[in-house]
Structure 1
Amino acid sequence: MTLTDDVLEPVRIAAQAASDKMGHNIVAFDVSEQLSITDVFLIASAGNERQVGAIVDGVEEALLKTGRKPVRREGDRENRWVLLDYIDFVVHAQHTEERLLYNLERLWKDCPQIPLDIEQPEEAAEEQ
């Protein structure tokens, strides 16, 4: 299945919002061939719980400006791994430790990675 701009555009907006909030190692996978419940997984990391929360808030604010609200938000009490479900795509904001432990990239390595073309602040680019 080829992803449409209706899906890719908000994914890229979410990725840029995560980057703007100092998220790092931001990647997106086209999981549409493997899953029937969503088309894209967007993953971003942060070094602490406060930063995970900032990424989540930034993504929600940016997508609200386009008229999109998540249908589900999970994990925001601990802010170690927060999931925002937008039906067509799911945003995973993870603490760096959770990212290493659960290694979603390994689970979805057979799925095509989506080029995001995001600008990263200098501090976040240096961390990578």
Structure 2
Amino acid sequence: MEIGEIYDKIINALVEKKAKNIKVIDIEDLTTIATYFVICSGTSTTHIKTLADEVEFKLKEEGLLPLRHEGYNSARWILIDYGDIIVHIFYEEDREFYNLERLWQDGKSVNIKDE
């Protein structure tokens, strides 16, 4: 599966389950760890787990499993690593605290609408 297809599946899954404040940062020119960070927020730990489950479900349907995932039990910051794309799903206070958008501000911002 091409990176563009993976990206689209991730964004669609997050939008479908009503993720908040979805941001995508192109970090390809800054690091070798990934091409994109997808960052979003959930409104509760249940919502955050639902977002993570939906992303993993939609990509598993295509035969793609994450290289790793972390944070599911606490559901304050769930990280799902698909190699070229790393998904960060935050509880809003934790997102503000860790502020990945500021940390990776030299990356190229890709506009995504909440729907």
Q: Establish whether residue 16 from structure 1 lines up as the match of residue 4 from structure 2.
A: no
Distance in 2 separating the partners of 1:55 and 1:12? 15
Matched residue type, 1:22: K
Work out the CA distance in 2 between the residues paired with 1:119 and 1:46: 12
Q: 1:66 to 1:114 in 2, by over 3 A?
A: farther
Q: How many Å apart are 1:119 and its aligned residue?
A: 6.8
User: Which has the larger displacement, 59-68 or 90-99?
Assistant: 59-68
Given the two structures, how large is their TM-score scaled by the length of structure 1? 0.83
Residue in structure 2 matching 1:100, options 91, 96, 103: 96
Distance in 2 between residues matched to 1:114 and 1:80, nearest whole Å:
24
Pairs within 5 Å for 1:1-128 = 6-116=2-112, 120=115
Runs of 4+ aligned structure 1 residues displaced above 3 Å come to none
Q: Is the 8 A contact 2:20 2:114 kept in 1?
A: no
Q: How many residue pairs were aligned? A: 115
Contact 1:16 1:119 survives alignment (8 Å): no
Closer, same or farther: CA 75–52 of 1 in aligned 2, 3 Å: same
Percent identity of equivalent pairs: 32
**Superposition RMSD on alpha carbons, in Å?**
1.6
Question: Shift in Å at residue 12 of structure 1?
Answer: 2.1
Structure 1: runs of 5 or more not aligned: 121-128
> Counterpart amino acid of 1:114?
V
Measured in 2, the distance between the counterparts of 1:62 and 1:99 equals: 24
The two structures have a TM-score, normalised by structure 2, of 0.92
Greater fraction strand: 2
Q: Secondary structure at the match of 1:79?
A: coil
Q: Which residue of 2 aligns with 1:126?
A: none
